């Protein structure tokens, strides 16, 4: 759903991308710095209960995911390695965000239930991405579902930010429950998508 805004934000940040290229900064370096920034924002501030600051830091670095791809395209350095690095580091950043919430609820958030729920969202987010990657490695596709990565990321950051502004942790609880259900449904949807393709063409895929 949110992918349609990618073009708009890419245009907004394109001057920064051009400046970085003129300075000799590579797209891979931007990818790495962005992941480090997201991880630091989540794992340093969330566990201390500084939710709004954490969200602001994370948001500032999340946009590197748009900048690095644009830099690679206009500089002619797009490669399979860059795509692999970007996807791999995305998983680390996503895990850090939900891991930070796990630590928050284990500490100042004081909720064992929500700690477990945040951990479940972390795991299911990884499974959602794995399902698509595994399908593509077998010559099939499993893109789609009601909770793709961009949707999950925006939802948890917006609600966590509001929770920090208004001191309403219940907003995080609401979004975690919603994401837990949506991620589970998305995994099931992707499994069904792959199953239909496999049944339609038995020659697809291979040994597990």
Query: How buried is residue 48: exposed, middle or buried, by Cβ count under 10 Å (0-12/13-18/19+)?
Result: middle
How far apart are alpha carbons 111 and 177 in whole angstroms?
14
Closest CA to 31 of 63, 76, 75: 63
- Cα distances (angstroms) measured from residue 78 to each of 85, 137, 189: 11, 20, 31
Count CB-CB contacts under 10 A for residue 105: 25
End-to-end CA distance of the chain: 31
Q: Which listed residue (90, 94, 167, 201) is catalytic?
A: 90
Go through the chain and tell me how many residues it has.
208
Q: Would you call 86 a catalytic residue per the annotation?
A: no
Catalytic residues: 90
């Amino acid at each position: 759903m949110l992918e349609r805004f990618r073009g708009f934000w890419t245009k907004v940040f394109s001057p920064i991308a051009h400046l970085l290229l003129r300075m000799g900064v590579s797209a891979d370096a931007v990818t790495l710095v962005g992941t480090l920034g997201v991880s630091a924002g989540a794992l340093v501030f969330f566990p201390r209960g500084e939710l709004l600051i954490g969200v602001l830091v994370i948001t500032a670095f999340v946009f590197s995911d748009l900048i690095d791809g644009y830099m690679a395209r206009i500089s002619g350095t797009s490669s399979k390695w860059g795509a692999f690095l970007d996807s791999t580091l995305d998983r680390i950043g996503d895990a850090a965000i939900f891991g930070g919430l796990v630590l928050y609820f284990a500490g100042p958030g004081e909720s064992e239930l929500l700690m477990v729920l945040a951990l479940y969202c972390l795991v299911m987010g990884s499974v959602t991405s794995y399902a698509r990657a595994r399908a593509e490695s077998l010559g099939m596709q499993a893109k789609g579902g009601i909770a793709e990565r961009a949707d999950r990321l925006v939802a948890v950051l917006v609600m966590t930010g509001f929770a920090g502004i208004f001191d309403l942790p219940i907003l995080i609880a609401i979004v975690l429950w919603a994401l837990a259900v949506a991620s589970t449904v998305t995994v099931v949807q992707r499994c069904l998508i792959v199953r239909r393709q496999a049944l339609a063409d038995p020659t697809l895929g291979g040994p597990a």
